[in-house]
Amino acid sequence: MSNIVFRAMRCSMKTNDCASCHDGFCTALRNTDFGSKNCPFYRSRKEQTEANNKIMEQLKERKRFDLIKKYHTSNM
């Protein structure tokens, strides 16, 4: 049995509109302290959706149905 304990980290941005932000907590990073700088991993939900769609099209073009099945099953 694993002894790993996940501690949710507060998103460092105050806007709560990052694609990885849920209820003010970051679901992507273990450390969200960037000092006085903005988070360099911020991506809006719209930007994330566009990136996901682009990746899906590239996977289809390359006939990588194994990766689509593995990572994008909910988008099919």
Least distance from C-beta 61 to ligand SF4, angstroms? 29
**Residue window 16-55: x/- pattern of binding to ligand SF4, with contact defined by CB under 6 A:** --x-xx----x-xx--x------x-xx-------------
Nearest to 68 by CA among 47, 45, 51, 52: 52
Residue 44 CB, nearest distance to ligand SF4 (Å)? 9
The identity of residue 31, as a single letter, is: N
H or E element that contains 10: strand 9-10
Contact between 71 and ligand SF4 per CB under 6 A: no
